[in-house]
């Protein structure tokens, strides 16, 4: 799989240096080099690259402005490259694959490209699944319906996030979703609980649900989501309600409106 890549930096020497470091990676094809943000937006819309190495500090139209200027198209994967470490938080908030400091270290670049390859493989899997659904809808409607209802779920799982970046108290925490026990809503803030820590994420419950696999993460209350894989015990309660005991020992009440969730454990 070829990674069609563009390089964006207002310093020609920086582009040249990055190009040299990318040469050993045979699957990386540099299809354009841009010296400002406006050139980058035009090149991305025209060439539709898989990946963009994007300098943040550029005169007039910085790297973050490039991302904002691509809201109307499907953007490539972004790796921000800069000499200034104080932009790291904004880079991850912009859903960057990674953030590299100048001068770029070869080992660090290799790690970044491995991450890009994984993201592209996941994206490809989802795309192939969608193509399969379209074909099945035409030639085998019953099979298509079966996939829509679940099937083996292999491809569907790839569209949900495995790691979530959470900015809390001036730091960025990368949280493996497998370790999340439960999530409580507090307005536009989410309290993310793992067995070891509690973090605050500024996001609505509705948006967060779209990022998590619904076969594992289910609402058990109007303002609570639970990782069903980490439920260790179900305790019946009065009036059709019950409690789920999680791996950490925490107990979460399931309201009657969500009692179908409990059915997964008793059938």
What per-residue confidence (pLDDT) applies to 267? 43
What per-residue confidence (pLDDT) applies to 205? 84
| Bridge partner residues of 99 (DSSP) | 80
Which range among 144-148, 182-186, 205-209 shows the weakest confidence by mean pLDDT? 144-148
Decide if pLDDT at 244 tops 90.
no
| Phi, psi for residue 81 in degrees, rounded to 5 | -130, 125
For residues 118-146, give the mean pLDDT: 59
Pick from 103-112, 146-155, 228-237, 254-263 the range whose average pLDDT is largest.
Answer: 103-112
Tell me the pLDDT tens digit for each residue of 140-175. 555 445 545 544 444 445 568 888 888 877 788 888
Reported as a pLDDT band with limits 50, 70 and 90, residue 262 is low
Neighbour tally for 166: CB within 10 Å? 18
Decide if pLDDT at 46 tops 90.
yes
CA angle 138, 139, 140 (to 5 degrees): 105
Which range among 9-18, 109-118, 205-214 shows the weakest confidence by mean pLDDT? 205-214
For residues 205-234, give the mean pLDDT: 86
For residues 25-41, give the mean pLDDT: 94
| Phi, psi for residue 189 in degrees, rounded to 5 | -115, 145
Q: Is 46 helix (H, G, I), strand (E, B) or coil?
A: helix
Decide if pLDDT at 250 tops 60.
yes
pTM of the model: 0.51
Query: Which helix (H) or strand (E) segment is 217 a member of?
Result: strand 217-221
- Omega within 30 of 0 (cis) for the link into 103: yes
Mean pLDDT computed over every residue of the chain: 80
């Amino acid at each position: 799989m070829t990674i069609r890549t563009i390089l964006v930096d207002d310093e020609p020497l920086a582009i040249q240096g990055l190009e040299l470091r990318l040469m050993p990676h045979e699957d990386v094809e540099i299809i354009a080099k841009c010296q400002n943000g406006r050139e980058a937006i035009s090149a991305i819309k025209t060439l539709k690259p898989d990946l963009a190495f994007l300098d943040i500090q550029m005169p007039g139209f910085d790297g973050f402005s490039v991302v904002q200027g691509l809201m109307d198209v499907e953007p490539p994967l972004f790796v921000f490259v800069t000499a200034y470490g104080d932009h790291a938080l904004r880079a991850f908030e912009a859903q960057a694959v990674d953030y590299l400091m100048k001068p770029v270290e070869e080992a660090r670049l290799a790690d970044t490209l491995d991450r890009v390859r994984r993201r592209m493989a996941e994206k490809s899997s989802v795309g192939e699944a969608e193509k399969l659904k379209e074909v099945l809808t035409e030639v085998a409607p019953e099979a298509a319906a079966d996939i829509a209802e679940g099937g083996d779920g292999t491809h569907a799982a790839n569209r949900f996030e495995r790691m979530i970046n959470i900015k809390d108290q001036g730091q960025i925490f990368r949280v493996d979703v497998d370790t999340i026990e439960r999530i409580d809503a507090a307005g536009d803030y989410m309290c993310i609980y793992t067995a070891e820590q509690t973090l605050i994420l500024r996001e609505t419950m509705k948006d967060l649900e779209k990022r998590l696999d619904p076969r594992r993460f289910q609402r058990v209350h109007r303002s609570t989501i639970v990782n069903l894989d980490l439920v260790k015990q179900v305790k019946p309660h009065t009036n059709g309600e019950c409690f789920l005991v999680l791996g950490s020992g925490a107990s979460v009440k399931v309201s009657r409106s969500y009692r179908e969730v409990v059915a997964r454990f008793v059938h």
